Structure 1
Amino acid sequence: MNRLVKTVLLAGAAWGALSATAIAQEAPAQEPTATSLDEIIVTARRRDEQLKDVPVAVTALSAERLEETGATDITALQQQSPNATVQVARGSNSTLISFIRGVGQQDPLWGFEPGVGLYVDDVYIARPQAAVLDIFDIERIEVLRGPQGSLYGRNTVGGAIKYVTSRLSPEAEATVRAAYGTYNQIDLVASGSLPLTDNFRVGAAFANLTRDGYGRNINTGAEHYDKDVTAFRASAEFTPRDEVFFRLAYDRTQDDSNPRHGHREVAGVGYGANSPGSVYDTYAGVGDENSVESEGLSFTGQIDVSEHWTFKAISAWREGRTDTVIDFDNTPAPTLDIPAYYADEQYTQEFQFQFDYDRIQGVFGVFYLDATAEGAFDTILGGAGIVIGTGGSVETESVALFGDVNLDLTDRLHLGLGVRWTQDSKTGEVFRANYLGATRSPLLGGSARAPILLRTDYTNSRNYDDVSPRVAVSYDFSDDITGYASWSSGFKSGGFDMRGDAILTPDTVNGYDPETVDSYEMGLKGRAGPLSFSSAIFYNEYQDQQVTTQVPAGASIASFVDNVGQSTIYGAEFEGSLYLTENLSANFAVGYLNAEFDQFLRYNLTTMQYEDISDQVVLQNAPEWTGYFGLTWQSQLAGGELVVTPSVSYRDDYSQFEFPNPTLDQEAYALVDLSAIWTAPSERWSIGVFGKNLTDEEYRVGAYSFPGALFNDSLIGYYGPPRTVTGSIQIKF
């Protein structure tokens, strides 16, 4: 089936690319719709622009499109965005792991930073915990592919994801949605706004999302892969004059879902060391308590200073706390148990000066970040009778100046110039020690005792500077078709390995250096008759690449965060919408990716030398082909409107780690979904049915690999959701 799906997707993409002109000549003219590129407004360049005019590869998904496809959280972006990985992190319920075009960061430990930036209403979210945002009360989501260093700064070497919430309505309104589905899924979502005066309004949105587990903990009887999330947003908007706008917003998320311990993929020794029949079951014995809290407050002010100039200020504060446990061996015994906590706090301030004259538009600004991330975790090794306690923190202060200008050289030829200067200052504290007894260490509330071996204990500071430029040339071949060519650079800051073992890897106290990506891209986007499309080809040079791995080393685990060298990544993307008839349209996305290491330096624990092993490794989360194809059929039924959306998404083979592992790596798979929504004639209420993964495909989204007798051959897989069916009803007041 996967081969057939792949063939259909590729044939569809090739047909679309080759026949766009023919369609424009032969098809009857149709009115632009809300999903046409000339109607979609995005803020990829920090200002409102039509999607077809932006010389950046952008996937923009409106609230309507996300609702029609039954998207519940932002991991749905993986299905509809070419060359993107957007998943729940291994061993987690709400930690986000993102890769775009093979560039990202899988490790969510404090101190490590993502390679894909996440923004909620232009507020940068520095930590991935609680970042698997549920989709409610939104306007759209934008996925910006390729380095976005000049405008979005550090840690956007892969790209950026922008989650844009809805502005408050000038009229009093409220919406309530309730859903019930497979595994006793119960979702309750309510949102509304209330104008208190002509220029001041308040609003709020609330979501309570619960579900029984896809599996269970056979050892304790607890639910496994369940969901228990409560989220709340509140905002106030004040417009004293037409040219002045202020917004104050607060959000809070509480995730009390049980921890995900994963599924043992190979049998070990002892009770519970077999592989459970269901991939969602476990025998874990470390416990079933898990809590993730995240909250933030932001203030946005925008003033139209004159006809040509606008000033915008964005101030934001966020903090989060995670208390969790992960049983890496998946057995009742404390063979490899990891209790942990993470905590973070950040303050950001951004000032933007936007301008728009006849032939020149752009933005200048300054950005400031002050953030602290800390945590501790225990590696409980029952076979060795010890626990390795690890704890520490990293403080980050970042300042950036940026500018991006678009020059209309002629009516059709445009030149875009951007640059960003960034300075990061980081201070890391790392402590790691062995304690006798396979129970919690003093770092996590265990009995007070002195370490039997001090492995790491240091404090170090480093500064990093970078200049990230961008140059883009675009040409309007017609009023509907735009082509562009660009070069851009991205920078991800260096840092300190919070797991670093100074005994096994003495260089860890020096930290690791930044990584950079230089991207060359050409694209064509626009509308040809009933076809709205966006296409791009790209070539990336990935340098000083940061790779995080953990390797068993005797009665310990060696952690490496190395600048392993460089890789070359190139590929192509084609996505869009095709209006087949008055009632039927198609949405599609196809991505091709070729990614290879040119150099991979690995520290040899025996020889204590760095060796180039690039012939033994691959880039993780970099499938060669990704694809999506969906149909949307609209018809009148019982006086209302019925919208039916069948779709299939495809993801090629990919590796979970840089070192291929046939037991844990994921083979190609396809997901088939089907949704139907009927809206009453009054448009005040609607009902929907959403089927996801209807073929009940089993597919891994993450893994851990700890082979060997000491770890009881712990090869653990984490799986995406099985087949589910959900019914919903929504009422607007």
Structure 2
Amino acid sequence: MQKGLWHGVSPLALGLALGFSLTSGAVAQTAGGQVMGGRAADAEVSELVVTAQRVEENIQQVPIAVSAFSSATLQRQSIETLQDIAIRTPGFSAGQVDPIQTNFAIRGIGSAFGISQNAGGDASVVVFVDGVYAGRGGTPDIDALNLERVEVLRGPQGTLFGKNTIGGLIQFVSKKPSADPSWRVEAQYGNYDRRSLNARGNIPLSDRAFLSLGGSIKLRDGYEFNETTGNHVNDQDLRSAALALRLLPSEDLDVTLAVDLTDQDQKGNPRDNICDATLRGGVHCVGINPDPRVVNAFTDGYLRRWLQTYRGEVNWQSPLGTVTSITAYRAATLNFRTVFFANPVNPPNQIESTETDHEKNKQFSQELRLAFGALDGRLTGQVGAYYLHEDNTRIEDLQQDFPAPAQTGIATYPQMVKGRSIALFGQASFAVTDTVTATAGLRQTWERKRGHFIGRKVSGPGLPPPLAADYDVRGAESWSALTPRFALDWQATPDLMFYASATRGFKSGGFQGIAGSGPSQSTPYDPEFAWSYEGGAKSRWLDGRVRLNASIFKTDYKDLQVSQLVPLCCVVVGNAATAEIKGAEFEWVLQPLQGLQLDGSYAFLDAEFTSFANGATANFTGNALPRSPRHKVHLGVQYSTDIQGWGAMARLDYTNQAHMFFEASNIATQKQEGYINVDARVSLTSPDKRWEVAVWGKNLTDELVATYVTAFAPYRQVLVPYAPPKTYGVTLIWKM
């Protein structure tokens, strides 16, 4: 496939061709009694248990579009971050302003700027770690946790999960401590002097008490070089630890107490600077090195993060059903300095803009659920209540150095925001017949945010943008939302299920990150809402050797929160638009021969603004939503065999994604061209299964992929951070 693959392709042609060819092929072979590839496979495609509906279910029986990655899959594909997950998931894109300010989008819905850029705002796609909402401060890397699986739920999940899951959500599900003693140590070395060590253990303390613990350290040199300071930047120094204690006081009671910690301390991530150009093949600014991995910032900046999560989960098998309580306290401290604009324009004039942030977030949450069954199992469901309190303090300092003295100086923007969310929810499924099940759910949410906002000049001859005048203001607002879900599924055969659903999603309103004036800062923007309609099928063929899942969807958004960069001012969030999103997604796994697996996915996405008047002159109606590539295909080939008792496995992952924009204007300078990503891994496992050595590579085509783009039209500048370049290394694993 070439990068021009998507030119001239009719919208659903490729996906339908892939889906129907697999389905028709499977049916034909079943009817004719043939085997795929001339040799029978001796194992089915393994099935996963997921908690997409807050209870454990086979993924093939869940009427939701969900992708799941087991712990074995995470290892075999060298998956370490959510960026790695996004590459392999239909409809999911993951960018980042810097390594701790991520911005996720599912089916075109996401926050255009990192959540840490706004003390009073929320993301549209959120992460839950073992049932705990991870609102701010990011999450540990995937390989730092002892995960059982990662789940990606696509589309609004407002009934059972609530809290801003309007685009979708990602769930990290950890392995619970158990009675099986085990140890695992993994060491890794790669280019850019990458060194990492990860150790995990599971220790039974008695027949009713079990302990799991682990820790990791990841070190790496920087991907970019700062010519001004002579240092490599965008490096990595990340340490994490996790501990979980599981107690079984009785046959009916299961208690888990857990803590995970993350400590990150590394250099910053200055932007590449491009003038008058699209992202590829552009002309770099005068005096700037044209190498995109070389920057010219007057300081390297820094990035420091201290993340703590303390969690208690209780499961009680009561006479009424399973009662689950999840209590969590989460604290994040972020300190970072980013030079987001530093280069000469028409020398000797120099422009420099530096952002320094100090943020502390405290979050307490409590969820209580009852999962029940009645009528001899024909009626199942759950009811629950949720409470969340957030206390966020953020101080952002902006240093602006421009040729014009009136725009030069330092300003500070302290923000103190408190948020509260309360919800009552329930969902029930009723077996209308032996094969048809109807589901209905409802969630009522009440939210409140109040904040104290300051904008003040610190020094300089003028008022640095965006500050127009000093201010000290307060603001408060409350919102409520009713988010129902209706679904119908038909188990046509034991291996074929059809479903249809209608779901409403809600994302909280909020306040600006920083504003130029007090009235703008204290005026909240409204929540956004979406209705999503989806139909799909989940199927297995050829005695379980083929799995094919498909979905089609349409989503209508109103009061869409849109982030816009106002030159020489700020990022402004407003309810500026409505949008319509249509698409189709396919996922498949085939095992045609013993040891051979073919898997992949395809997503078609048509996401556009149906109305978006941006001021008196600009009208973005009809433009594509940010980070919504029209086509995305992922193909995986995996082969495993025994060589004189040694287990050998080779895997290749290929992703081809069409172009996308980072901003609603859809201008060329905010465009990421289509690109190809290729990852590979080859491993050998000892006959006793205790040792494994693997050689791996990521982004083997060394594609230059932007993770975030800022365009400053007045100075004809485009500022870009990039995803990692080609990386490779070797991993050694010992288990017992």
Instruction: Classify 1:571/1:274 alpha carbon distance in 2 versus 1 (closer, same or farther; 3 Å).
Output: farther
- Partner residue of 2:203? 194
1:559-588 deviation line (CA, Å, top 9, x unaligned)? 421101200000000002011111211111
Q: Whole-Å Cα distance in 2 between the matches of residues 651 and 592 of structure 1?
A: 10
- Partner residue of 2:523? 510
Alignment pair present for 1:520 and 2:533? yes
Alignment pair present for 1:729 and 2:716? no
CA contact (8 A) 1:224 1:280 kept: no
Q: Whole-Å Cα distance in 1 between the matches of residues 234 and 571 of structure 2?
A: 28
Q: Whole-Å Cα distance in 1 between the matches of residues 217 and 307 of structure 2?
A: 15
Q: Whole-Å Cα distance in 1 between the matches of residues 462 and 174 of structure 2?
A: 45
CA contact (8 A) 1:266 1:275 kept: no
2:58 paired residue among 46, 50, 60: 50
1:382-405 deviation line (CA, Å, top 9, x unaligned)? 113222322212211110001111
- Partner residue of 2:494? 479
- Partner residue of 1:364? 383
For 1:236-635, what aligned pairs fall within 5 Å after superposition? 236-266=245-275, 274-306=287-319, 309-331=321-343, 335-357=352-374, 358-383=377-402, 384-437=407-460, 454-502=469-517, 506-529=519-542, 530-552=545-567, 556-603=568-615, 613-615=619-621, 617-635=623-641
Instruction: Classify 1:126/1:326 alpha carbon distance in 2 versus 1 (closer, same or farther; 3 Å).
Output: same
- Partner residue of 1:150? 159
Q: Whole-Å Cα distance in 2 between the matches of residues 603 and 364 of structure 1?
A: 45
1:137-182 deviation line (CA, Å, top 9, x unaligned)? 2110000000000000020000010011112231322110001011
1:715 to partner: Cα distance: 1.5
1:66 to partner: Cα distance: 1.4
CA contact (8 A) 1:96 1:130 kept: no
Give the % identical residues. Answer: 27
Matched letter for residue 363 of structure 1: Q
Q: Whole-Å Cα distance in 1 between the matches of residues 261 and 462 of structure 2?
A: 33
- Partner residue of 1:447? none
CA contact (8 A) 1:13 1:590 kept: no
Instruction: Classify 1:106/1:622 alpha carbon distance in 2 versus 1 (closer, same or farther; 3 Å).
Output: same
1:45-100 deviation line (CA, Å, top 9, x unaligned)? 0101111111100001111111111112121111111010123x11x113321110
Q: Whole-Å Cα distance in 2 between the matches of residues 489 and 632 of structure 1?
A: 39
Matched letter for residue 484 of structure 2: P
- Partner residue of 1:659? 665
Q: Secondary structure at the match of 1:312?
A: strand
Q: Which moved more, 1:224-233 or 1:326-335?
A: 326-335
Matched letter for residue 140 of structure 1: R
1:457 to partner: Cα distance: 2.6
1:670 to partner: Cα distance: 0.8
- Partner residue of 1:444? none
CA contact (8 A) 1:2 1:668 kept: no
TM-score between the two structures when normalised by the length of structure 1: 0.91
Q: Whole-Å Cα distance in 1 between the matches of residues 548 and 380 of structure 2?
A: 25
Q: Whole-Å Cα distance in 1 between the matches of residues 28 and 3 of structure 2?
A: 29
CA-based RMSD of the aligned residues comes to 2.4
CA contact (8 A) 1:380 1:439 kept: no
CA contact (8 A) 1:179 1:185 kept: yes
Matched letter for residue 345 of structure 1: K
1:221 paired residue among 219, 230, 236: 230
Matched letter for residue 265 of structure 1: I
CA contact (8 A) 1:704 1:715 kept: yes
Q: Whole-Å Cα distance in 2 between the matches of residues 329 and 716 of structure 1?
A: 7
Q: Whole-Å Cα distance in 2 between the matches of residues 174 and 618 of structure 1?
A: 49
Q: Which moved more, 1:122-131 or 1:538-547?
A: 122-131
1:201-230 deviation line (CA, Å, top 9, x unaligned)? 112111101111122111112222211100
Instruction: Classify 1:385/1:117 alpha carbon distance in 2 versus 1 (closer, same or farther; 3 Å).
Output: closer
Instruction: Classify 1:639/1:546 alpha carbon distance in 2 versus 1 (closer, same or farther; 3 Å).
Output: same
Alignment pair present for 1:682 and 2:688? yes
CA contact (8 A) 2:609 2:622 kept: no
Alignment pair present for 1:99 and 2:105? yes
Q: Secondary structure at the match of 2:536?
A: strand
Q: Whole-Å Cα distance in 2 between the matches of residues 615 and 599 of structure 1?
A: 5
2:176 paired residue among 131, 152, 167: 167
Q: Secondary structure at the match of 1:498?
A: coil
Q: Whole-Å Cα distance in 1 between the matches of residues 140 and 470 of structure 2?
A: 32
Q: Whole-Å Cα distance in 2 between the matches of residues 593 and 702 of structure 1?
A: 20
Q: Which moved more, 1:1-10 or 1:102-111?
A: 1-10
Instruction: Classify 1:283/1:3 alpha carbon distance in 2 versus 1 (closer, same or farther; 3 Å).
Output: closer
Instruction: Classify 1:131/1:430 alpha carbon distance in 2 versus 1 (closer, same or farther; 3 Å).
Output: farther
Q: Which moved more, 1:286-295 or 1:620-629?
A: 286-295
1:498 to partner: Cα distance: 2.6
- Partner residue of 2:281? none
Q: Secondary structure at the match of 2:60?
A: helix
Instruction: Classify 1:45/1:639 alpha carbon distance in 2 versus 1 (closer, same or farther; 3 Å).
Output: same
Matched letter for residue 69 of structure 1: Q
Alignment pair present for 1:643 and 2:666? no
Q: Secondary structure at the match of 2:522?
A: helix
Q: Secondary structure at the match of 1:44?
A: coil
Q: Whole-Å Cα distance in 2 between the matches of residues 408 and 616 of structure 1?
A: 43
1:241 to partner: Cα distance: 2.2
CA contact (8 A) 2:608 2:622 kept: no
1:666 to partner: Cα distance: 0.6
Alignment pair present for 1:701 and 2:707? yes
Structure 1: segments with no counterpart, 5+ residues = 442-450, 605-610
Q: Whole-Å Cα distance in 1 between the matches of residues 528 and 99 of structure 2?
A: 28
The number of aligned residues is: 702
CA contact (8 A) 2:654 2:676 kept: yes
Q: Secondary structure at the match of 1:663?
A: helix
Q: Whole-Å Cα distance in 2 between the matches of residues 477 and 720 of structure 1?
A: 44
Matched letter for residue 562 of structure 1: G
Q: Which moved more, 1:170-179 or 1:478-487?
A: 170-179
TM-score between the two structures when normalised by the length of structure 2: 0.91
1:664-705 deviation line (CA, Å, top 9, x unaligned)? 411000111111121111011111111111111111111112
Alignment pair present for 1:718 and 2:727? no
Instruction: Classify 1:621/1:728 alpha carbon distance in 2 versus 1 (closer, same or farther; 3 Å).
Output: same
Q: Which moved more, 1:556-565 or 1:328-337?
A: 328-337
CA contact (8 A) 1:283 1:330 kept: yes
- Partner residue of 2:347? none
Q: Secondary structure at the match of 2:668?
A: coil
- Partner residue of 1:182? 191
Q: Whole-Å Cα distance in 2 between the matches of residues 484 and 573 of structure 1?
A: 14
1:508 to partner: Cα distance: 4.7
Instruction: Classify 1:382/1:426 alpha carbon distance in 2 versus 1 (closer, same or farther; 3 Å).
Output: same
Matched letter for residue 513 of structure 1: D
Q: Whole-Å Cα distance in 1 between the matches of residues 665 and 654 of structure 2?
A: 30
1:633 to partner: Cα distance: 0.3
Matched letter for residue 387 of structure 1: I
CA contact (8 A) 2:144 2:215 kept: no
1:616 to partner: Cα distance: 7.2
